[in-house]
Every structure is written in C-alpha cells, then in structure tokens.
Amino acid sequence: MRLAILDHGHGIRAKAMFVLIRIFSGHPVVDAVKLAFYRPSFYRGGGLTQEAMRGRSEWSVADRELMAAYVSKVNETQFCIAAHTATSSLAYNDGAKVSAALADLETAPLSEPLRATLRMLGKLTRENSVDADDMRGVLAAGASEQQIKDAIAVAFAFNVTDRLADVFDFAVDDLVAINAGAKYLLARGYR
C-alpha cells in the first residue's frame, strides 16, 4: 500500500475488526478492506458498489462479477482482475467460461446480450466514451434498456475502484486468500 495511513491510520474500532478478521478468516486483511474502512465518512463507496453488484437486476450476480473482471482487465488492474475473476468463476461455477471471456470476448461461450454489453463496457473504459451506435448495437443484441443502465453502474463502480487499487498499489493476494475473498463477496457482498 503506497500510503501508510491506509495500512495503519484506522480508528480503534476498525483496528479491532481487522484483528477479528485475521483470527477468524486465517488470512491477512486485504487492501480493499483496509481502504473501505479508512475514514468511511469521506469515501464510503461500498453502498453504491453493493447496489450495482447485488441490487435487483436482470443480470445475475455472476454476470455482474464478470463485468467487474472485464472492466478491470481493460484497466489492467491486477488486484481487481484476480478478485473478480475468482468471484465470477465461483458464482457461475464455471471458471472456463470466465477465462474464455477475458481471453477473447468474441469467441467465448456467452449469451449475445452479455457479449455485446461487455464489448460496450470495454470501449467505454478504454476510450472514455461510447455513442448512440454502440448502444443500438447492445439493444439489437437483446439487452434491455435497464440491463444497459445496470451494466453502466457496474462499470462506474469499477472504474473508480480500479484506479484506487492501482494508485494505492493494492497487493495481489495468494490464490487461497483470493478464493476465500470470493466466497466472502458472494456470501456478504460489498457493505
């Protein structure tokens, strides 16, 4: 972590919670959690991320976790690629599908609405803008207007989180800890 305050500057309640996390999970506290509990009155992005990732949607939780992994791949944010590849793989119970989507979107075994949506999110993330023709393409592939809005919300959450993970230099955990984190995100979410 590049700022010492994000490692050691928490209040006493957060520090006590980190001790409990270490004891009960058997893993160190991941950097994303340290960020979430640093001065929560200032940033506190968890509520928005929870709504985007776990609120009611025609997209499944697995689909939205794949969107998070895909946006993170375009941003080249290693921490978030690892975390959300694992979470999406667990949610689909199909790691090969997630790997295929991240390796080559056009040939991966995905529904056409999801493929077109990921394509649009990739362009938005890479080029910072999309246009009406891009949206017509996603609608023509079968995604609903609301599904597009829901996907844009996921992209917002991860275009923030990826930047914070990169600038603050989140450590990429070992595979056992990443999979434990994925189970936690599916069971408890982002709050």
Partner 1 sequence: MSDITSLHSSLVARVLEGEGRASPETRRAAFDNEGLPEPLSTFVDKVAHRARTVTDADIGTLKKAGLSEDQIYEVVVCAAIGRATRQYQNALAALSAVTGRN
Tokens read off for 98: 């997630």
The whole-angstrom separation of Cα 169 and Cα 2 is 6
E-strand ranges in the chain read none
Of 168, 145, 171, nearest to 57 by C-alpha is 145
Q: Answer yes or no whether residue 38 interacts with partner 1 by CB under 8 A.
A: yes
Q: Which is nearer to partner 1, 107 or 146 (CB)?
A: 146
Q: How far is CA 84 from CA 40, 44, 135, 150, 158, in A?
A: 23, 20, 25, 17, 10
Q: Which is nearer to partner 1, 5 or 103 (CB)?
A: 5
102-121 binders of partner 1 (CB under 8 A): 120
- Which residue in the set 20, 76, 95, 109 belongs to the binding site for partner 1 (CB under 8 A)? 76
Q: Answer yes or no whether residue 159 interacts with partner 1 by CB under 8 A.
A: yes
**φ/ψ (deg, to 5) at 118:** -60, -40
- Contacts to partner 1 by CB under 8 A: 2-6, 9, 38-39, 41-45, 47-48, 51-52, 55-58, 75-77, 120, 124-125, 128-132, 134-136, 139, 145-146, 148-150, 152-153, 155-157, 159-160, 162-164, 166-169
